Amino acid sequence: MLKVGILSGWHVHARGYAKELAESGLVQIAAIWDEDAARGRAWATELGAEFIADVDALLAREDIPAVVCNAPTTDHPALILKAAAAGKHVFTEKLLAVSAEECERLCKAIDTAGKVFCISLPLRATKRVLYVKKLIEDGTLGRVTGARFRRSHSGVSDHWLPEYWFDVAKTGGGAMMDLGAHPAYILPFLFGAPKRLAGFTANLFGTAADESAIALAEFEGGILATGETSFVTNGVPDLLEVYGTAGSVFMRGEALWLNLKEGGGRPVLADELPEEKPSPVIQFVKACIEGGGSPEHLGTKDALVMTRFIEAVYASDASGKAVFF
């Protein structure tokens, strides 16, 4: 059984990862460290794990080969550099780092360490997104000309996001840095790294960070795509649309619709979908146990493209100019 240390309970997904680990039957959550000692002690007691107040002491434990980092995004560089230097396998919540410069430094350290690394890009494991990717790759849609991805919720407009989520010193940004990570990793998953980006952000309710954002990205072959996100939208499921010369595909939450030039439109049936992959954190655990390197499409190169994408959106919004990769 793999012993895992958890670095912080700060992130809103931290408890979800702990639940997946505990229920996997493959992992013992052996120790917790947290920058908030009171929160860490309470959570460690709840999980039946040891609380370790000194992160260096946790990372020095030879019986704990892997760590899961849920710390504030701006704390990732210091923590993950230490974990890599200590020879730990690392799973991290997105983003790996706020700036491309920091991300590149982390990627080099992680790659040099030669241990398993995995970043949480969960939609890359889902059968619906994998189905759309297959349609693109096998030519079913003809030449792809455009796309759209949107993930949004009402966390600001309905006042349920916690206040600390707007502390940019910890988060690095607002809606684009958080939910915007999803279009920033889905669009490159389908089309590769973008060639150039333009971005817009808005602050409608007066919080300390951006509350909605749109990215316009150009990909190889002239594909133009929009990546959209918002904390001020109610009742919108995940939206993914890909348009081609022979047809288009539309995802609305769990529903898929395929519209082909030859054959017309129809819903995609469940038995047509590929097998769903395990969640990223479970892929990470299995890679640590079985060996064979980092999980596909969840590695350092993927983390770097995502950070560059989001950094470019903010830079374009600030300058009013497109940013070239």
86-118 pLDDT, tens per residue? 999 999 999 999 999 999 999 999 999 999 999
d(CA 240, CA 225): 10
Domain segments of the chain: what residues?
2-115, 123-276+307-324
Q: If DSSP codes are grouped into helix, strand and coil, which group holds residue 322?
A: coil
The answer regarding whether domain 123-276+307-324 maps to CATH 3.40.640.10 reads: no
d(CA 99, CA 251): 31
Residue 325 has pLDDT above 90, yes or no: no
Whole-Å CA distances, 290 to 116, 286, 302, 312: 11, 6, 22, 37
**Quick check: 279 and 290 in contact, CB under 8 A?**
no
Q: Could you tell me whether strands 255-260 and 264-267 are parallel, antiparallel, or unpaired per DSSP bridges?
A: antiparallel
pLDDT bracket for residue 311 (50, 70, 90): very high
For the stretch 274-296, pLDDT in tens is 999 999 999 999 999 998 889 99
Q: Share the mean pLDDT of the chain.
A: 97
- Domain spanning 2-115, CATH class: alpha beta
The share of the chain scoring above pLDDT 90, in percent, equals 98
Where does residue 215 rank: exposed (0-12), middle (13-18), buried (19+ CB within 10 A)?
buried
Point out which residues pair with 226 in neighbouring strands: 148, 216
Question: Which residues lie below 8 Å from residue 206, measured CB to CB, with a gap of 6+?
Answer: none
Residue 314 has pLDDT above 90, yes or no: yes
Report pLDDT for 229. 98
**Quick check: 178 and 223 in contact, CB under 8 A?**
no
The share of the chain scoring above pLDDT 70, in percent, equals 100
d(CA 35, CA 29): 18
pTM of the model: 0.96
pLDDT bracket for residue 321 (50, 70, 90): very high
Report pLDDT for 290. 95
